[in-house]
A and B are shown apart, each in its own frame.
Chain A
Amino acid sequence: MNRSHTTRYRTVDLLVTVVIGVAFGVAFLGYGQLYPLIGPLTTAFKPAEGLLAGIWFLPAMLAALIVRKPGAALGAEMIAAVLSMLLGSQWGWGTAISGLMQGGGVELAFLLTRYRRFTLPVAILGGVLAAVLEWGYEKFAYYMEMSWSFSFMMLAFFLLSGAVLCGLLGWVATRALGATGALDAMPAGRDRQPVSST
């Protein structure tokens, strides 16, 4: 595969990146219903909210694993962020910075492999890096007065969530999408076993 194949965006690559961001922006509204599940825990102990943090990095992870081009992770996460901002996210412009941190973290992991490896360990690394960056931003912008011991506990929750809910779940979800045939036009779809039925 020559270089222009790996970096040039076809129209379908652009649209898939965008649509992953938009679809998660829409699904996130539905996920709001998940927070009451851990509600009692987070009201009593805010750092536990980090347990679900990884879900918000999923658009970046899926875009990276599916489109496999530089910028896809960052692009999809920013689209999801912009959409929730336009719809009225409670974090305002903070959402854009979160998008930058989360998308940037995932992007960084794949950049380190020079966009050659799209395996589970790299995905987990991406989730972890996104978690570190997002935690750093939240500590600075939202939780500057939280004591460091609690902040580090929150970091632990973030890392766990990033590795499992973003890295592992994102990788599994991409495999599941591949099995549906919806990725056949995408680089990630090449891994699927050809079928003989029509």
Chain B
Amino acid sequence: MTSLSLHGLRWRPLSRRHRTVDGLDLEIPAGQKVLLAGASGSGKSTVLRALAGLLDEQAGDLEGQAAPPSRPGERGLLLQNPAHALVAATVGRDAAFGPENAALPRPEIHERAVEALDAARVDVPSSREPLATSGGQQQRIALAGALALEPDVLLLDEPTSMLDGPTAEAVREAVLEVAAGRTLVVADHRLEAWLPHVDRLIVLGERATVLADGDPDELLAARPHLLVEAGIAVETSTVDRRSADGPGPVVASLAGVDVHRPGSRRRRSEPPLLRGVDLELQAGTITVLTGPSGAGKTTLLQVVLGMAKPAAGRLALPSRERIASVPQNPEHSFVAPTVRQEVTASPWATDEALAEQLLTRAGLAELAEANPYTLSGGEQRRLAIIAALAQQPDLLVLDEPTVGLDAQRRRAVLELLEQARAEGRAVLAATHDPVLMQRADARLDLADGAGGDAPPVPPAGSDPSPDRRIGPVPRTRWIPADALNPLVLCLIGILAAIGSFAVDTWQGGLLALVPTVLLAPLAMRTLGGGLLRLAPILLSAAGLAWTTAFLGDAPSLSTEAWLLGAKEAARITAFVAPGVLALGAVDATALGDALGGRLRLPARPIAASVAGLVRAGHLGRQWQIITQARVLRGTGSPASPRLLTGATLALLVDALRGAEQQALAMDARGFATATTRTWALPSPLRWPDLIGAGIGVLLLVWPFVAEMMVG
């Protein structure tokens, strides 16, 4: 095992005028446990990346970084948002990603993945989708991803800052257990829980200057105000900002409301996620909505915002323009090019003088001309809140308004909320922040069963002995097409598309479609789903028939022109339908295994493409949040080009920032050098593939034969 050292680390990102780290020397002997403390923006993350050897010389001026790792995954790196570390469609394949990059033989990949998932105490089955698990589970899956490469060093960047108390504790325990015998460097602004377990505390000030470095007990005994000086801890304020008049009238209420899990509307047999929820939101109060993740906090916020309809119960909500909301990621709501314009971007925020006053109140007056996206996390949060307050709403709804903020920045957010309360607004916040809960006037805890008789929520998917086998991405229902290699499924579609060009008459075209119709059931998981997949094709075909009949060379809309149109419709259906049906059985992971593992196409582009494609669902959810945040601000309808343009920009910003973090996480798992890698699952060609290839050839020649028969 080697020690880690930084010699005069200097770093200036290309986008900054000044260095963010200016001459840091650091020696960390092998096996030491180090806690890196510092306020947001002190450069903790940069120091961790430098220790990992992952700062990018193309992205800034760099000196004194640690040597690159001597083997893939020698230094594991965990990020604040575990979603950025996840790369695969299943938990098992995610744990296997590092060993695949290290080009380990297949049996060892599976062994390593299983051991790592056990060690990280991941308690969901390996077939589960990582991005669909809870935040705590995601962080443990990310830990397993690092452990699978048997790292000598673990570097953790605020690994628990987005988690609620008990979940954070479970992650911390898992980390400390696996850290035995390894070097550990944790950056965090919540120190207490780590302090008993570390040998050394390093407190960083501005530009990563070392304010203190030594044994934690001795340091804190000698300098009791150290953490306050460093801006990490704050003295609790005793000012009570409660409204002088006490709680005012009820501005919104829910009575006996049942809510279904989003997307489960059609399965009425499923019990509702929340049952019999009663909630009264009074002017001049802060109400917190608490409960474990998956308990339905976000879903209930949707109901209060009027974006989800409850299955039963009575609602009394203020009108659309009297409600303002702040999404968990403030960037999702940004619409304007400057901070000042952002505050008044909503058509319901009309008071310019109030806007200026709010800018000052949030400490953003000096940044009024900056682009909202370039602000720090804490500044963005405050901006989103004052932009909501500028609407002078009766009800302010916030999703996790303090998550991930250090003590100082959290206090600034709390002050804004308390001022809103003092002004007589009703504030509702979903949160797991104990400080915010303490400041609140009322609390609805969804773990308590919401309104009495709801069944207890099982902790999302916990399982004492989960199935660790790594297999293909699970399907809802097996169909014969699943027996085929993705390459063969692709081949069928391509050959059929080529064959369709033989269609030359409308009779031949209809005959050409016969095998497709007969074979379609083999590739349809459900009748409804299959028809849904085919409907757009038939619509396009009908459109093409009309266009041809109308705009062809034959007299417009004559019988001759319509028959030509029918031929074109049959031809285009024969061209696309077999491919669309066959692709229904293809998933990105299996396709990647086939292209990378079997065809030996360049490994890095293929693996990166799979990592991107499996995030499509995640990005789809972001898109929903982004468009909804804009509709809620009154900045347009979901079909307005202006809203779609802004939403696309916000989605791209989200995706690009995510890509940057994900690249870092992947490189820490040996991806940078993975030009030759192995694949955890084979992509076999078996006897059904022969039949599949036969079907492909049939679809290639049949239209030709059909034309001969009718001709």
Contact = CB atoms under 8 A, between A and B. Distances in A.
A186 B652 CA distance: 14
Interface string B152-187: 000000000000000000000000000000000000
A196 B666 CA distance: 30
Contacts of A87: 616
B548 A23 contact: no
Given A88-B536, A92-B576, A15 B662 contact: yes
Interface stretch (A77-85, A99-107, A111-119): A77-85
Contacts of B578: 92
Interface in B661-711: 662-664, 666-667, 671-672
A11 B666 contact: yes
Contacts of B546: 43, 46
Nearest to B622: A26
Contact of A189 (B15, B611, B659, B667): B15
B580 A30 contact: no
B97 interface: no
Contacts of B539: 90
B564 A30 contact: no
A5 B58 contact: yes
Interface residues of B, number: 87
A12 B41 contact: no
Contacts of B609: 18, 79, 82
A194 B620 contact: no
Contacts of A143: 544, 547-548
Contacts of B588: 86
Contact of B655 (A23, A90, A176, A185): A23
A26 B663 contact: no
Contacts of A41: none
A175 to B, nearest CB: 11
A108 interface: no
Interface of A: 5, 9-12, 14-27, 29-31, 33-34, 36-37, 43, 46-47, 62, 66, 75, 79, 82-83, 85-94, 141-147, 150, 173, 176-177, 179-186, 189-190, 192, 194-198
Given A25-B616, A90-B537, A93-B576, A181 B493 contact: no
Given A11-B671, A182-B653, A30 B623 contact: yes
Given A10-B663, A19-B655, A22-B612, A90 B644 contact: no
A142 B652 contact: no
For B532, B653, B659, B660, which residue has the most chain A Cβ atoms within 10 angstroms? B659
Nearest 6 CB-CB pairs, A to B?
Answer: A92-B576, A18-B612, A180-B373, A92-B579, A90-B536, A12-B663
Contact of A177 (B14, B58, B586, B653): B653
18 contacts: A12-B664, A15-B662, A15-B666, A16-B659, A19-B659, A22-B655, A30-B647, A37-B639, A37-B641, A46-B546, A88-B533, A92-B537, A94-B497, A142-B544, A147-B553, A184-B59, A194-B14, A195-B370
A56 to B, nearest CB: 13
B549 to A, nearest CB: 9
Nearest to B43: A198
Given A92-B577, A145-B548, 10 more contacts: A9-B604, A15-B612, A22-B616, A30-B627, A34-B644, A83-B613, A90-B580, A92-B537, A177-B653, A184-B15
Contact of B17 (A15, A21, A36, A195): A195
Contacts of A62: 652
A190 B14 contact: yes
Given A89-B580, A94-B575, A194 B15 contact: yes
Contacts of A195: 15-17, 370, 374
A12 to B, nearest CB: 4
Contact of A88 (B544, B565, B584, B620): B584
A5 B537 CA distance: 44
B560 to A, nearest CB: 11
Contacts of B620: 26, 29
B575 to A, nearest CB: 7
B631 interface: no
A183 to B, nearest CB: 7
